[in-house]
Chain A
Amino acid sequence: MVADYWENVFTARERGQQVVWYNGSAVNPIFQAAGLEWCHGEAFSARLAAQQLEKPAQLAAEEYGYIGELCSYARTHLGCAVLTQQARSEDQTGVVGLIDQQELASRLPAPDFFVNAYAGCSTGQQWDEISYRVFGKEVPIFNVSLPFLWGNKPDSGYLRGREWDEASQYVARQLHDLIAFVESMTGRPFDWDALREAMTYIKRASELRREAMELCKAAPTPATYWDWIASIAHINFLPATQELVDYFQAVKDEIVKRLESGIPGVQNERYRFYFDGIMNWNKLGWLAKKFAAHDVAMVCGRYTHNAFWQEPHLIDTDDPILGMAQHYLLCPTNHGTKTLKYLTNRDCEEYGVDGIVFHASRTCRAFTNPQHLLAKAAQRELGIPSMFFEGDVADASFYKDEILESRLVAMLETIDLRRSRATA
């Protein structure tokens, strides 16, 4: 499904389709209802990193002038923008080979317009503005402003309080403006029925996903965080159709079957961990194998379990705008520490977690900023130990295996000692 989606994006021009580049929130149902093809910049960067194809784009970005410590999602995607733009003008970059340039540049069609709807990350909020400049300010852009949910007012809390209500309404109004902008770009009236239909599929797919996640609280868990990572693309940006619902129905069915058959996500599950941090796409399979080799089942995580249409009850399929706006605010980098502590500790308790692994992604400070506070809260309030390792979302050079290995083993030893003391 994911490969088909990207192939569809790559061939959009051949079919005379308009293409929108966007970043941040999953505003794609609006594009789908408007009959557009959509390319999520982060997703394309993640795809390149997972396929070990990110370097040419990153080199092109650095040659253009972006520093190596810029968000590697943004750096990769801006590199793609540079290559795409250069391909249109038949320029050549000096450092990226022609084959790589053609592969990347010819595959990602240039945008007809940009939409940015980024929550909780200042780089993300400027990213499309920079792409807009790479394309010579000739491509229209629309920005959706998503306020940070501080969550520190007396009545504030997860999904409640005046701050939440006001922010929800503020974003909902902007989505109406976005739809008017999209109408101006397509020259067609917006198809509200198509949006309602898309959101009906998304709501059902999300319900199935959450039900399946709930089943994974079992010990041993039938599926791990890494399995949920593998289905991020589906819930995040694939077309909302019956096929999407069928996919998550199949995921849930497989988990039910695994539970019935006693098939665990990790053989010999001895430790249950929580993963905090954005995904290290270069090392997806590597990390899954590494933790499994130590009998660690990564049972849940902030990126998978507190993002991506995770509160389907908020979606009113007859009038979906408010529920969509609320999900855009619920990005896991868009909460104050109080809410993040609540979500992390809640999941650690519900999933019976023994330890937390913090992926301190070098170029994603939005995700890493609160991590030490979360670690201390879990230790203090639940007695759960944690460890940190450095890596990145799409730049493998920041990952050092020996550092992860020694810290992981040290934490497992700590847990073993605690267990032996508890049973002594």
Chain B
Amino acid sequence: MSEHFMGVDLGSTTAKAVIIGADAGMVAWRTVQMGAVSREGMRQAVDGALESAELRRADIGRVIGTGYGRRLVPGVDRTFTEITCHARGVAAACPGVRLVIDIGGQDSKAIAVDRDGFVEDFAMNDRCASGTGRFFEVLARALECEVDELAGLARSGSEDLEVSSMCATFAETEIVSLLAQGAEPPDIAASVHRAVAARTLGLVAQVGKRRPIVMTGGVAKNAAAVHALAEALESELIVPPHPQITGAYGAALLALETYEGAPPRRAADLERAEESAAAAFAPQSSPSCADCEVSDSTARSVVLGLPIPVRRP
């Protein structure tokens, strides 16, 4: 039986590749941001992961592709949608999860997970990039800063401005208009984060709020976005240390589980695999709100990861 399996998630803005071993433990991973469904980005992610693992492509027993560009992954053995892969990856990394909120570059989704870690229901954003990573790119461009700087900016904002959460393109117009009216960039940044959270709340409503909640996707690396969503949901959010690669990790797990040479798996094998997965994603540090100014925190400890404090009005 092959010892290694790969999952490749070619998203709208970022390519992710994860290699796992036969015990489901993560061996190597690489993310590359190269632009819309970039083949070059995918190549770099795959090559980078192989290099980190000191493996060749021939050493990989099976490759599963996911994400927008899943059909473009060369040598892919099978594809799964990002819904299935994110649910699988998160369920393995955070056993007991019941709701996954994944916010990527162009889409956002809420995935209800059943007690066995399988997809029960899901909802995705419609027709517009509102409430996605794209929304934050628009914000950064309008405020003339880097995306990575947005969280800090939003954290210092205090005034609640009205920003449409329906359309990323028109939101840019609104932001420019607010700037023209003399609104402060930190207030605008904070308000946009709240608008994204409000939009995501609608998706959660479609599948039903349930706990524990795990947030993944590139936007989960934005502490202010996580914080705004936690406030909107009035709930802790668990953010794995590598929130962007859970889809690729789920794909790699599916590669392992659908590998024809795989021997029948016993309960003990599965348990060991789950432990490896959870260890690979064991929260090391929040992405995070460690330095958020929190008052009247209602955060409670949960066994699955680091809770995000909730600030109540």
Chain A interface residues toward B at CB < 8 A: 360, 372, 375-376, 379, 385-388, 390, 398, 400, 402-403, 406-407, 409-410, 413-414, 417-418, 421
* Main secondary structure on B side of the interface with A: mixed
Total A-B Cβ pairs within 8 A: 49
Range, interface on chain B: 10 to 19
Given contacts A409-B81, A410-B81, contact A417 B119 (CB under 8 A): yes
Determine if A417 and B118 form an interchain contact, defined as CB atoms under 8 angstroms apart: yes
Q: Point out the residue from B84, B122, B124, B206 that lies within 8 Å of A403, measured CB to CB.
A: B124
| A364 CB to nearest chain B CB (Å) | 15
Chain A residues in 8 Å Cβ range of B82: 406, 410
Bound form: Cα–Cα A360–B123 in Å: 13
| B251 CB to nearest chain A CB (Å) | 12
Chain A residues in 8 Å Cβ range of B81: 406, 409-410, 413
User: Interface centre among B122, B123, B127, B208, by most A CB within 10 Å?
Assistant: B122
Bound form: Cα–Cα A149–B83 in Å: 38
Bound form: Cα–Cα A400–B83 in Å: 18
Given contacts A372-B206, A418-B118, A421-B116, contact A413 B84 (CB under 8 A): yes
Determine if B84 and A414 form an interchain contact, defined as CB atoms under 8 angstroms apart: yes
Determine if A413 and B126 form an interchain contact, defined as CB atoms under 8 angstroms apart: no
B118's nearest neighbour on chain A, judged by CB, is: A417
Given contacts A403-B126, A409-B81, A410-B83, contact A385 B118 (CB under 8 A): no
Given contacts A372-B206, A385-B121, contact A413 B116 (CB under 8 A): no
Encoded as 1 (CB less than 8 Å from any A CB) or 0, chain B from 64 to 91 comes to 0000100000000000111110000000
Bound form: Cα–Cα A372–B205 in Å: 10
18 additional contacts (CB under 8 A) given A403-B126, A407-B124: A372-B206, A375-B121, A379-B120, A385-B120, A390-B127, A402-B68, A403-B124, A410-B81, A410-B82, A410-B83, A410-B84, A410-B119, A410-B122, A413-B81, A413-B84, A414-B84, A414-B120, A421-B116
A415's nearest neighbour on chain B, judged by CB, is: B119
Bound form: Cα–Cα A93–B81 in Å: 47
Chain A residues in 8 Å Cβ range of B120: 379, 385, 414
Chain B residues in 8 Å Cβ range of A413: 80-81, 83-84, 119
Bound form: Cα–Cα A334–B279 in Å: 54
Bound form: Cα–Cα A385–B87 in Å: 16
User: Interface centre among A388, A406, A409, A418, by most B CB within 10 Å?
Assistant: A406
| A215 CB to nearest chain B CB (Å) | 33
Q: Point out the residue from A385, A388, A409 that lies within 8 Å of B123, measured CB to CB.
A: A388
